Amino acid sequence: MKIIIAGMGKIGSAIAESLVTEGHDLVAIDTNPEILVRISEELDISSVAGSCTNSTVLEEAGVAESDLLIAVTANDEVNLLCGLLAKKMGVGSTICRVRAPEYASTIDTIKDDMGLSMVVNPEREAAAEISRIIENPFAQNVESFMNGRAKLMSFEIAQNSPMEGTTVAQLFSKIKAPVLVCAVERDQEAHIPFGSFSFEAGDVVTVICTEEGFGPFLSAMGLVSSKIKDVIVVGGGTTAYYLADMLLKRKTNVSIIEKDPARAQDIALKLPKADVINADGTDYNLLREEGIDTADALCCLTGIDEENVLTTLFAKTNCPGIKTITKINRSDIERTARPFDLGSVISLRSLTANQVLQYVRAMQNSIGSSVITLHRICQGKVEALEFRVSPGSRVTGIPLEKLPIRSDILIACINRGGRVFMPRGNDTIEEGDTVIIVTTVSGLSELDDIRTED
C-alpha cells in the first residue's frame, strides 16, 4: 500500500520502521528537512518537506493516490486538520494522533464527524498498560484479547520457582487450568516452547490464559502478591495524568513529582485527590522524603529516558521489592538498558506502531480473516495476533492435529460465541470464531497464512 506519514518524531519514525519492513510504499512529511534526510537514508523512503496542513505539500506527497495517511505530529490540532484535508483531497483512510485529555470525552464524536478511520492516543495507551501492570505487580506486562476474556501475561521465573527445571509438559500435567505457555525469552533469544522445553531461572515467560484460569495459575506459581496501594509517579506529563486518573478511580494513593511549576499546578487542579509535589523527581533525597522506601510502586515517566532509567536503577538498588515501571522511547536507550533489571519497560513508540500495524494489516485483508488485535512480545521478536475467522477460510472444519500448520505457529486460544478455550488436537477452527495465533514470523495479516504450502 501507499502510505503517507506526517510527523517524523519518535512516534512517526517507529511507525515508518514497522511499515517499511512489511513492504509498504512510504512517503514522509515533516517541517524539518534534516530529519527527512536522515529518515530517507535510513529507511530508503520518499519525503516531502513542509507543513502537513498545506494542500500543496499533501499533493506533492501524492495524497489522492494514497491508501492511508497517518498524522502523528506533536500537535493534536495539526493532526486533525491534516486528516480532514487529506480526506477532502481523496486519501483512502486516515489515522490521527490525538493525545490531549481535553479531547478524551469527545474524541469519538470528533472521529465520526471528521470521517477519520482511527484515532491513536499513545499516552493513554501507555497509561492503560501501566495500570494493568500495577494491578498485576508480578508481571512485566499484561495485554488483553477477546474483549478481556483472554489475557497475555509475561513474568520472569525467579530462583526456586515451581517452574524452574520443569518442562512445559510436566508443568501443565500438574496445573489443571486453562493456561498456555506461548513464548519464552532467554538470553535475548525468543522461543515458542513445546512439551519438552525446560524452564530456567531468569527466563521471561509469556502465558495466555482465560479469565477462569488466571487466578489458579498464579496461585500455583506463587505469583500472587499483595495489592499495590501507594504509587509514586516521577514526571507530570500527559501519560502521568492519564495513569493517575485511572489509579485514583481504583482508590490507589498517588504521588506525582513534577519539576515544572506550571505543569505541577495544572495537574494538581485536574487531579485534586493526587498528592502533587513541585520538585525534581530525580533527586534521590527528595524521593526518600516522599516515601519511596515504603511505596509499593515507582513509575518513571519523565520525557528524558536517561533520567527514567537512572531513577529506576536507584529504586531497584535501594528499595527491595518495589515494583518499577520505566518509560523509554528511544530505541538506542532501550537496547543499552536491557542488561539492567528495570522491571517493566513501556515504550509509547512501540505501542503506537503496533496499533497502526494492526490497522494496516486489517486493511490489507478487509474481505478475509483479518487481524483485530496485535501485540508484540519478547522485545518485538514474537507477535500475538487475534483473527476473526471469515467464510471460506482454508483452516476451518479441520481437526488441528490434521491441519498442516507451520512450525513457527502456535494456535493459542479460540473464542466461539463467548466461550474461550485452549484448543486440543481434535478441536477445529470454525467460521465466526476469533483465534489467537502466536508466532515468530513477522507480517502475518491473514489467518490462512498459518498453513504450510499444499
Residue 184's contacts (CB-CB under 8 Å, 6 or more residues apart) are: 190, 191, 192, 193, 197, 199, 203, 204, 205, 206
* pLDDT digits 0-9 by tens, 309-368: 999 999 999 998 899 999 998 888 888 887 788 889 999 999 999 899 888 888 876 555
Confidence class for position 302, pLDDT limits 50, 70, 90: very high
Confidence class for position 170, pLDDT limits 50, 70, 90: confident
Give the H or E element holding residue 357. helix 348-364
Query: Can you tell me whether residue 356 is helix, strand or coil?
Result: helix
- Say which amino acid occupies 439: T
Confidence class for position 217, pLDDT limits 50, 70, 90: confident
**Does residue 225 form part of some domain?**
no
Cα gap 434→145, rounded to integer Å: 10
Residue 255 and residue 316 in one domain: yes
Scanning the structure block, which residue is given the C-alpha cell 515451581?
A: 162
Residue 257 and residue 315 in one domain: yes
Q: What is the CATH number of the domain that holds 386?
A: 3.30.70.1450
Residue 451, beta-bridge partner list? 405
**Does residue 58 form part of some domain?**
yes
**Does residue 352 form part of some domain?**
no
The pLDDT assigned to 333 comes to 87
Residue 322's contacts (CB-CB under 8 Å, 6 or more residues apart) are: 292, 295, 296, 297, 298, 315, 316
CA dihedral of residues 178, 432, 446, 14 (deg, nearest 10)? -70
Residue 435's contacts (CB-CB under 8 Å, 6 or more residues apart) are: 386, 387, 389, 411, 413, 414, 415, 429, 447
Cα gap 143→355, rounded to integer Å: 13
Q: Is the pLDDT assigned to residue 144 strictly greater than 90?
A: no
Range of the domain at 400: 364-450
Confidence class for position 286, pLDDT limits 50, 70, 90: very high
* pLDDT digits 0-9 by tens, 80-104: 999 999 999 999 999 999 999 988 8
Give how many domains the chain has, as a whole number. 4
**Does residue 355 form part of some domain?**
no
**Does residue 207 form part of some domain?**
yes
339 or 305, which is more confident: 305
Residue 264 and residue 327 in one domain: yes
258 or 370, which is more confident: 258
- Say which amino acid occupies 23: G
The pLDDT assigned to 225 comes to 66
Q: What percent of the chain has pLDDT over 90?
A: 60
Residue 381 and residue 430 in one domain: yes
Residue 411 and residue 429 in one domain: yes
Q: What are phi and psi of 254, to 5 degrees?
A: -125, 130
The pLDDT assigned to 237 comes to 94
Pairing of strands 93-97, 118-120: parallel
Residue 29 and residue 101 in one domain: yes
| Eight-class DSSP state of 261 | H
Residue 329 and residue 236 in one domain: yes
Confidence class for position 3, pLDDT limits 50, 70, 90: very high
Confidence class for position 151, pLDDT limits 50, 70, 90: confident
Residues recorded for the chain? 454
Residue 234 and residue 216 in one domain: no
Residue 309 and residue 386 in one domain: no
Q: Which of 68, 86, 120 is the endpoint of a domain? A: 120
Q: Which of 318, 346, 374 is the endpoint of a domain? A: 346
Residue 434, beta-bridge partner list? 388, 415
**Does residue 357 form part of some domain?**
no
Residue 240 and residue 197 in one domain: no
257 or 210, which is more confident: 257
Q: Is the pLDDT assigned to residue 454 strictly greater than 70?
A: no
Confidence class for position 369, pLDDT limits 50, 70, 90: low
Q: What is the CATH number of the domain that holds 50?
A: 3.40.50.720
368 or 438, which is more confident: 438
pTM of the prediction? 0.86
Which of these ranges, 93-97, 156-160, 180-184, 232-236, has the smallest mean pLDDT? 156-160
Mean pLDDT of the chain: 90
What would the mean pLDDT of 118-139 be, rounded to a whole number?
91
Residue 14 and residue 74 in one domain: yes
Q: Which of 158, 192, 220 is the endpoint of a domain? A: 220
User: What are the grid coordinates assigned to 67, written together?
Assistant: 491508501
What would the mean pLDDT of 203-219 be, rounded to a whole number?
83
Q: Is the pLDDT assigned to residue 261 strictly greater than 80?
A: yes
**Does residue 53 form part of some domain?**
yes
Residue 368 and residue 322 in one domain: no
The pLDDT assigned to 262 comes to 96
State how far Cα 8 lies from the chain centre.
Answer: 20
Residue 42's contacts (CB-CB under 8 Å, 6 or more residues apart) are: none
**Does residue 358 form part of some domain?**
no
